[in-house]
Amino acid sequence: MIEILYKPSFLRQFNKLPSALQDEVEDKISLFYKDPNHPFLRTHKLKGRLKGFLSFSVNYEYRIVFKWIDKKTARFFAVGDHDVYNF
Is 86 part of a structural domain of the chain? no
> What sign has the CA pseudo-torsion 87, 9, 22, 33?
positive
Which DSSP string corresponds to the chain? --EEEE-HHHHHHHHHS-HHHHHHHHHHHHHHHH-TT-GGG--EE--GGGTT-EEEESSSS-EEEEEEEETTEEEEEEEESGGGGG-
The parent domain of residue 72 ranges over 3-81
When divided into structural domains, the chain yields a total of 1
pLDDT tens-digit map of 16-51? 999 999 999 999 999 999 999 999 999 999 999 999
Is 31 part of a structural domain of the chain? yes
pTM score of the predicted model? 0.93
Question: HSE-up of 24 (CA within 13 Å, CB side)?
Answer: 18
| CATH code where residue 27 lies | 3.30.2310.20
